[in-house]
Copies of this chain bind each other. A is one copy, B any other.
Amino acid sequence: MRSQSQSPTRVLGIDPGLTRMGMGVVEGSIGRPLSLVDVNVIRTTSALPVWERLVTIERGVEAWIDEHRPDAVAIERMFARSDVSTIMGTAQAAGVAMVVAARRGIPVAMHTPSEVKAAVSGNGRADKAQVGLMVTRILRLDAMPKPADAADALALAITHIWRGGAQNRLEAAVAAQALKAGTR
């Protein structure tokens, strides 16, 4: 943890979605105040075919990464939801964001909604309003970021910095071991 508390990390948090995709950049290190770099929401219309919406999302994420040059990208890990078509659109938007980061060699990490809620509010079952309020306090903002997708993206970035990327290093080690063992 020592080296991480010395050099600040810049993290792009992404709350994936086809209609609204929240992107929030936070900079800082464990044990020091974090700061908001920028926050945005990419919107695409359901009047267009999915592939054109995904191209808009790809360009938006690319432009954002080029502008802010994050050290890592943290994306929400999805689980079962009620509506399958929503899951698919969200998964596609997340997949496109992952590819944009991975092909530039930027480390990608995923955090579940409950990990994010627990990290920012101490309660894995916190509601949207509580998460938004804590993001506002942690980043010392004048107003709560809106829409909720923007606040959620910032919460993901905060979570990633505070978790210190430990989970990610573990996953990388497991993958490397599996490759060595000839699983591939």
Contacts and interface: CB of A to CB of B under 8 A. Distances in A.
Contact of A91 (B91, B172, B175): B91
A58 interface: yes
Task: With a 10 A CB-CB cut-off, give which of A50, A79, A94, A183 has the most chain B CB atoms.
Answer: A50
Interface string A140-184: 000000000000000000000000000000011011001100011
Interface string A36-71: 000000000101111110110010000000000000
A95 interface: yes
A99 B98 contact: no
A47 B99 contact: no
A79 B84 contact: yes
Task: With a 10 A CB-CB cut-off, give which of A79, A102, A103 has the most chain B CB atoms.
Answer: A102
Interface residues of A, number: 37
Contact of A87 (B54, B91, B178): B91
Contacts of A55: 99, 102-103
A50 B125 CA distance: 27
Contacts of A52: 102, 175
A23 interface: no
A95 to B, nearest CB: 3
A58 B92 contact: no
A45 B178 contact: yes
A181 B101 CA distance: 35
Contacts of A45: 178-179, 183-184
Interface of A: 45, 47-52, 54-55, 58, 78-80, 84, 87-89, 91-96, 98-99, 101-103, 108, 171-172, 174-175, 178-179, 183-184
